[in-house]
Amino acid sequence: MEFFCCEIDTVRKVGPDPNLLYNDRDLVNLLSIEERFLLQCNYFKSVQKDIEPFMRRMVATWMLDVCEEQKCEEEVFSLAMNYLDRFLALVPIRKCNLQLLGTVCMFLASKLKETYPLTTAKLCIYADNSIKRQDLLEWELLVLEKLKWNLAAVTPHDFIEHIVKQLPLPSNKLPLIRKHTQTFIALCATDFNFAMYSPSMIATGSVGAAICGLHLDDGKQTFCVDNLTNILAKIINTEVDCLKACQDQIETVLVNNMKQVRQ
């Protein structure tokens, strides 16, 4: 008798819906509602007294590590950081509760985006059991209340396919471009300097940085920096100078991140 390995990935993922992806109305709707989920102020100066930007970066880096190790959907981390920033803009907290807040935000984001969300048990383990399950559940209700249960926030990931499909990109390079773009978006989410940038701006800047970093050349100067920036700015109807500044800042974040890795 022969035995065959029939194990397959039991998690079924929904692919992109062409009716939405190739309909400009969906992009217009995303652009019109993304402002609802943006920060209106620097909460470190107006709301938070006990936490500092470097603390946010530390918690964000830990959250990203958890999401990567658990192989979460790419949107989970960005969505969790959106919840965290929006909550911190409303409620002053002590620094000892910042990791708890980050854990709750991952918990909520995974519930919205994952087929099998992160469990309280796993999250408590990742926090070295410094967080109790009951505290996590109580803070979950607190976060939901303060965010008014408005969890379906627009993130940069919502724009990637809309942007990519409007560019003359080689099909064999698309997976690599998407991966690089997602990496840039994650790095932006860990840096508070990007917290008040719109998701469309971050997504477009990340796509531009990814294409420039891969040195794509179609022989027609389509992907030269200035021409590419102009094309991307038209897609999301924004100022070229604003987009270029965002893209330059994204590339700076990448350089700084690479230096930290080497160190």
What are 141-197's pLDDT values in tens digits?
999 999 999 999 999 999 998 888 888 888 888 889 899 899 989 999 998 988 888
Q: Tell me: do 56 and 122 sit in the same domain.
A: yes
Q: Establish if 2 belongs to a structural domain.
A: no
| Domain, as residue range, for 164 | 157-262
What are 43-90's pLDDT values in tens digits?
999 899 999 999 999 999 999 999 999 999 989 999 999 999 999 999
Q: Tell me: do 97 and 126 sit in the same domain.
A: yes
Reported as a pLDDT band with limits 50, 70 and 90, residue 20 is low
Q: What angle do CA 17, 22, 25 make, to 5 degrees?
A: 105
Q: Is the pLDDT of residue 3 over 50?
A: no
Q: Is the pLDDT of residue 199 over 60?
A: yes
| pLDDT attached to residue 68 | 92
Number of domains composing the chain? 2
* Chain-centre distance for alpha carbon 53: 18
Are 49 and 89 spatial neighbours (Cβ–Cβ below 8 Å)?
no
Question: In the block, which residue shows the tokens 């965290």?
Answer: 84
Question: Where does a domain end: 146, 169, 192?
Answer: 146
Whichever domain contains 201, its CATH number is 1.10.472.10
Are 63 and 77 spatial neighbours (Cβ–Cβ below 8 Å)?
yes
Question: Where does a domain end: 146, 165, 199?
Answer: 146
Q: Tell me: do 169 and 256 sit in the same domain.
A: yes
Q: Establish if 15 belongs to a structural domain.
A: no
Q: Tell me: do 83 and 107 sit in the same domain.
A: yes
Q: Tell me: do 202 and 234 sit in the same domain.
A: yes
Q: Establish if 223 belongs to a structural domain.
A: yes
Q: Tell me: do 166 and 228 sit in the same domain.
A: yes
Question: Where does a domain end: 95, 125, 146?
Answer: 146
CA distances from residue 7 to 1, 2, 39, 71 in whole angstroms, order as listed: 18, 15, 45, 18
Q: Tell me: do 163 and 100 sit in the same domain.
A: no
* Cα(98)–Cα(138) distance, integer angstroms: 15
Q: State percent of the chain over pLDDT 90.
A: 41
Residue 50 is given by DSSP the state S
Q: Establish if 107 belongs to a structural domain.
A: yes
Q: Tell me: do 179 and 199 sit in the same domain.
A: yes
* Cα(129)–Cα(148) distance, integer angstroms: 29
Q: Establish if 9 belongs to a structural domain.
A: no
Q: Establish if 233 belongs to a structural domain.
A: yes
Q: Tell me: do 125 and 51 sit in the same domain.
A: yes
